Structure 1
Amino acid sequence: MTTWTRGGPGLTRRRMLMGTGGVAALAAFGGLPTRLRAQAPVRVAGIYTVPVEQQWVSRIHLAAEAAKAAGQIEYSFTENTANTDYPRVMREYAESGAQLIVGEIFGVEQEAREVVLDYPDTAFLLGSSFPPDPAYPNLGVFDNYIQDASYLSGIIAGAMSETGTIGMVGGFPIPEVNRLMHAFMAGVRESKPEAAFQVSFIGSWFDPPKAKETAFAMIEGGADLLYAERFGVSDAAQERGVLAIGNVIDTQADYPDTVVASALWHFEPTLQAALAKVASGSFAAEDYGIYSFMKEGGCSLAPLGTFEGKVPQAALDLVATREAAIRDGSFTVEINDTEPTSS
């Protein structure tokens, strides 16, 4: 387990994802809540089953690092935690005095809940496919409900695909992945109603070589644009000269001629809501997924950057219209958690 003052040189991609904009990121979401400014920093522990540079976990880690840089929290984390070790690490952090434990328990749902019951004075904010349960009053659940941004990225994808065949590579067909794929596909059909999709899951959250090989097969099958739900997909797109749409993070700087747009997840609103409730003593079994919605500031469409001026104006106009409607509540992107299939 790491200590509360963990540091280290990290990896190249990690420095890119985590090394900039900490305080700025927090400021972008309203800064430090007034009720927390005069209080001692909250002791927060992160437990992650993958490296912190992985897309999904990186957003949690970035938000925590921003809060730490602002003096709001003390932060320690453990990465690459096997599901079999997850309950043990939860217990160790709870025993060491963590006030809030964040992480993801998709592969260890019941075991994690057993730990939660043993530490009623510790708040747990954990990614989960299940709803909150009053039987576990100190367990708040969340997921990356960024279907709004995924839908908008799909509109752009449909306009940029010439063949109308789009490849989609995911980790596992669980709700958090399925809903984003469905939203993306719905957006694509707004621009290209006749679009066809190749859908595949690699059975891993972090296996770039496998994701890359899967993407190669899709390109050989006619796909000229790829939905990069996993690392490795954009590498395949870059090597074969096709386009890609990013997910959760913006990797256009790494793939300036490949990644057209990305649906970004911002964990800051979720973390801020939890910290405020920890500070007020009102943390409870709630669904924090709503803080990932676009109207809550939990997701956005990345700037076009190197593709500025290359996306058809009709698609950009539709994106602007739909985004305004999403934000004012007059348009709702469907949340479909069923497993998507190829068409």
Structure 2
Amino acid sequence: MTYSTTRRGLLMGAGAVLGAGLMPDLLRAQTPVKVAGIYTVPVEQQWVGRIHLAAEAAKAAGQVDYSFTENVSNTDYPRVMREYAEAGVQLIVGEIFGVEQEAREVAADYPDVAFLMGSSFPPDDAVPNLAVFDNYIQDASYLSGIIAGSMTKGNIGMVGGFPIPEVNRLMHAFMAGAREANPDITFQVSFIGSWFDPPKAKETAFAMIENGADMLYAERFGVSDAAMEKGILAIGNVIDTQADYPETVVASAIWHFEPTFAAALAAVQAGAFKADNYGVYSYMKEGGCSLAPLGTFEGKVPAEALALVAEKEAAIKDGSLVVEVNDTEPKSS
């Protein structure tokens, strides 16, 4: 197995420096925790990339000794988990959406190793050393929808990977936000059956544009490329890609994995890690998500939409507004 500890230059480095500031001071004084990441896709992929950034930030701050393996197939995932556990890793982080049962069996065989895994299922007390998380960034997705709804003529195309809860809830929140700005919007919804297939996502987006979409929701890489080529706007997801698409990506719902990672590290160091749902640390009130800066679109978003975003964001943070978590598969309208 090949371990990598550095990756892809400025994007990761800048994220690590920024993320280091989010880690509690308490963790800085502790002996570094030996952490391994196991990812089924490249660390450039947006969802996994946020986990990787948080781990690299903790490494830069001296909190962890971090290594990772990417592009691990579901069939190979349990083997890689075992190899890291046998190597003395204290905390293994990854995503087990396609290998739930097998991953839990591995975790049960290594009760002294903490497993923090992206999962669509709840924690199980029968496997007390495996905690779950997901990117519950519906708060930021809802706000990005308000902006989208204010800048479309009424037809939004939405391209996702798979219709699983962690994708579905973000789409529904985005759609709810868009309807706040324009209740008559039509949505085209499609899933490409892959977590990382930019060409397929791009072709799917092209078809939506041909069918009248003048705004795209880029849940997957490749969608913003289609928007840029056709001269329409897009909304990003999980990461901010506006620097790559300065005239295309209006706004993005950003996932910050640092609060989740910091909570897990603290639990490991305290000897208190247990089966738990770490998804709560992705909520906006916990600092787990935010709306990206408007950047090149400063001054181009309608003032009334920005006022509504500010109002709703304040309500989310003070608890007076709870954005619905709807995990059902969204449909075209």
Does TM-score exceed 0.5, indicating one fold?
yes
- Secondary structure at the aligned position of 1:169 is classed as strand
Matched letter for residue 170 of structure 1: G
Residue 107 of structure 2 contacts residue 130 of structure 2 at CA under 8 Å; is this kept in 1?
yes
User: Partners of 1:293 and 1:2 in 2: how far apart?
Assistant: 34
| Structure 1 equivalent of residue 56 of structure 2 | 65
Q: 2:99 aligns with which of 98, 105, 108?
A: 108
Q: Which amino acid aligns with 2:16?
A: G
1:115 match: secondary structure: helix
Q: Please give the alpha-carbon distance, in whole angstroms, between the structure 2 residues aligned to 1:316 and 1:268.
A: 27
Aligned partners of 2:183 and 2:17: how far apart in 1?
42
Q: Which residue of 1 aligns with 2:171?
A: 181
Q: Which amino acid aligns with 1:193?
A: P
Match of 1:55 among 46, 66, 85: 46
The residue identity in structure 1 corresponding to 2:79 is: R
Q: Which amino acid aligns with 2:267?
A: K
Structure 1 unaligned segments of length 5 or more: list them: none
TM-score (norm 2): 0.98
2:148 equivalent to 1:157: yes
Partner of 2:29: 38
Aligned to 2:19: 25
- CA shift at 1:19, angstroms? 2.6
Residue 127 (structure 1) aligned to one of 113, 118, 123: 118
Residue in structure 1 matched with residue 190 of structure 2 by the alignment: 200
Measure, in 1, the Cα distance between the counterparts of 2:249 and 2:191. Answer: 20
Whole-angstrom CA distance in 2 between matches of 1:288 and 1:87: 22
Q: Is the 8 A contact 1:33 1:276 kept in 2?
A: no
**Match among 248, 260, 270 for residue 250 of structure 2:** 260
Counterpart residue identity of residue 25, structure 1: G
2:266 aligned residue: 276
Q: Which runs of 5+ in 2 are unaligned?
A: none
Q: Tell me the residue number matched to 1:79.
A: 70
Aligned partner letter, 1:219: I
1:324 counterpart (302, 314, 317): 314
What is the deviation of 1:26? 2.0
Could you say which residue in structure 2 is the equivalent of 1:213?
Answer: 203
**Residue pair 1:32, 1:70 contacting (<8 A) in 2 also:** no
Match of 2:227 among 228, 237, 241: 237
Contact 2:138 2:325 (C-alpha < 8 Å) held by counterparts: yes
CA distance in 1, matches of 2:262, 2:78: 25
Number of corresponding residues: 333
Question: Matches of 1:105 and 1:126 in 2, distance apart?
Answer: 6
Opposite residue 104 of structure 2, the aligned amino acid is R
The 10-residue stretch of structure 1 (36-45 or 263-272) with the greater mean CA deviation from structure 2: 36-45
Q: Deviation per CA, 1:141-172, whole angstroms, max 9, x where unpaired?
A: 0000000000000000000102x000000000
Query: Over aligned residues, Cα RMSD in angstroms?
Result: 1.0
Contact 1:17 1:53 in 2 (8 A): no
Matched, 1:337 2:291: no
Structure 1's 7 and 74: CA in aligned 2 closer, same or farther, altered over 3 A? closer
Tell me, yes or no, if structure 1 residue 97 matches structure 2 residue 88.
yes
**CA–CA separation in structure 2 for the residues paired with 1:153 and 1:322:** 11
How far apart are 1:22 and its partner, in Å? Answer: 1.4
Report the Cα distance in structure 2 between the residues aligned to 1:16 and 1:219, rounded to whole angstroms. 33
Query: In the TM superposition, what whole-angstrom CA distance separates every residue of 1:221-272 from its partner, at most 9, and x where no partner exists?
Result: 0000000000000000000000000000000000000000000000000000
SS at match of 1:197: strand
Take 2:24 and 2:293, find their aligned partners in 1: how far apart are those partners?
26
Q: Distance in 2 between matches of 1:20 and 1:38?
A: 23
